[in-house]
Amino acid sequence: MERQWTKSSWQDFPALQQPKWPDKGAYNAAVEEISRMPPLVFAGEVRALKAMLAKAEEGRAFLLQGGDCAEDFSQCTAPAIRETLKVILQMAVILTYAGGKPVIKVGRIAGQYAKPRSSDTEKVGDLEIPSYRGDMVNSPEPTPEARVPDPRRMVEGYYKAAATMNILRAFTRGGYAALHRVHAWNQEFVKNSPMGRSYERLARHIAAALKFMECIGLDTDIPQLNQASFFTSHEALLLGYEEALTRQDSTTGDWYDCSAHMLWIGDRTRQLDGAHVEFFRGVHNPIGMKVGPNHDIGEIKQIIARLNPQNEPGRLTLITRFGKDKVEKHLPPLIRAIKSEGFRVVWSCDPMHGNTYTASTGHKTRNFDDILQEIQCFFEIHWAEGTVPGGVHFELTGDNVTECTGGGRNIVDEELLRNYQTNCDPRLNAEQSLELAFRIAEMIRS
Ligand code: TRP
Ligand code: MN
């Protein structure tokens, strides 16, 4: 017999990676406050995303998921949100036009505020202080005071997520994301790069197609062209926050985690009998699960059976993150195991997290060619196995940062310090993101 699920039943299971909130009363008051606030998304939207993901599973659409490693409260501004949205729209246009497939656009945005850490503490000089766990938990400044988990930050995170969501809805529905504006998303600092020029060329083709439609009398003032569908996602790490935003849909009676459209479980918190799997099995959102090199295939199968007992299409996305050197070893056996069970999953590739290393300058970085190589292997392996490479998952920003090495302008180690901004993992910059989109478009077209 399955145990009864409630939005609180996870509390009876061990939850890894939870902050040690010093004041239990303050914590309870914070989650209680959030539980009275309006949801950030509504169930109908979540179901629409699930239906699109079901198409990705069959190769009739492609999932593009991306955004910051960790969102920064101080970057909750219209320009910062717009820059991230822009680069995702550009990538989506490239993948749709050059790749010939509808693209499901999912941001790591409007709630990506909590981070799992490999160590509870870190050394700063001689001082041992608690690790930074994301803006919803503590502050990145390297002082003991800044690192004390503060539950009021969860409330602030809710409001920041709501403000982000609001401007995203405005941009995507209000004309900013209209295909007529495809040129306008290309940023000044990208325009004169090889990738910027390739993008301009593609944008001209789209503009010409729209012009043609108008010439022959087709109405182009329609939502398919004027509005972009865009969804939000984050790692659902802080289960108290997620529970507080979990609501029962009045039309179906089903429970949805209304903090975002899609949520994922991290590689470090996906224990079969852990709190995260317990929480996720009861909400009806599309769920992602990260799978890294340290997995047990038997356990993965059991988790999938628990998370998706009805084998519903679009429910589960497996986001593999093996690294370029390990993908050949780990991906084929995993694919075969899943296939032999008949499990329906969207296969997505996170080529970021398995390819992180420390540069000669001491910066945490990733190399463009390694990222591309893991993606290429991911596609080749799926084709060889007869399964569908259904999507990609990136850490990226629209800004002109220097956090990952390589790419068209071949950023070298010594240049990393020029504009290294991230609080957490290194992100692709706008140019590197476009370049990857062009390369992936070639792959999905074939
Ligand atoms: N409405 C479609 C979509 O969201 C087409 C579209 C409109 C679009 N604006 C876009 C696609 C911007 C990519 C980027 O997919
Ligand atoms: Mn990361």
Ligand 1 close to Cβ of residue 222 (< 6 A): no
Tokens 């991906």 -> residue: 331
What pLDDT does 165 receive? Answer: 98
Q: Which of 90, 101, 104 is nearest to 202 (CA)?
A: 90
Q: Taking 90 as the threshold, does the pLDDT of residue 166 lie above it? A: yes
Residue 177 Cα: closest atom of ligand 1:
9
Give the pairing type, strands 127-130 and 121-124.
antiparallel
Take residue 189 and report the two structure tokens written for it.
Answer: 């600092």
pLDDT > 70: percent of the chain: 100
SS3 243: helix
Answer yes or no: are the C-beta atoms of 298 and 79 closer than 8 Å: no
Pocket test for ligand 1, best of 62, 87, 229 (most atoms within 8 A of CB): 229
Q: Dihedral sign, CA of 374, 379, 385, 391? A: positive
Question: Residue 406 carries which DSSP code?
Answer: B
Among 307, 262, 288, smallest CA distance to 5 is for: 307
Task: Give mean pLDDT, residues 267-295.
Answer: 98
Ligand 1 near 203 CB (within 6 A): no
**Model confidence at 369, in pLDDT bands (50, 70, 90)?**
very high
Ligand 1 atom closest to residue 92's alpha carbon, by position in its atom list: 13
pLDDT of the residue at 91:
98
Instruction: Map out the domains of the chain with their CATH numbers.
Output: 9-445 (3.20.20.70)
Strands (E), 12-156: 62-67, 103-108, 121-124, 127-130
pLDDT at 446: 72
The rounded distance, in Å, linking the Cα atoms of 183 and 191 is 10
Is pLDDT of 1 > 90? no
* Residue 402: Cβ within 10 Å count: 22
- Structure confidence by residue, pLDDT tens digits, 210-224: 999 999 999 999 999
Confidence of residue 192 (pLDDT cuts 50, 70, 90): confident
pLDDT tens for residues 376-402?
A: 999 999 999 999 999 999 999 999 999
Mean pLDDT of all residues in the chain?
A: 96
Q: What is the pLDDT of residue 74?
A: 97
Q: Answer whether 93 contacts ligand 1 (Cβ < 6 A).
A: yes
Does ligand 1 come within 6 angstroms of the Cβ of 6?
no
Please give the number of the atom of ligand 1 that sits closest to the Cα of 224.
1
Backbone torsions φ then ψ of 317, nearest 5 degrees? -115, 125
Pairing relationship of beta strands 231-235 and 316-320 according to DSSP bridges: unpaired
- Structure tokens that stand for 291 in this block: 């799978």
Q: Which atom of ligand 1 is nearest to the CA of 228?
A: 4
Distance CA 298, CA 227 (A): 43
Q: In 216-274, where does DSSP find H-type helix?
A: 223-226, 239-244
| Ligand number with the minimum distance to the CA of 85 | 1
% of the chain residues with pLDDT over 90: 94
Ligand 1 within 6 A of CB of 96: yes
Q: What is the pTM of this model?
A: 0.97
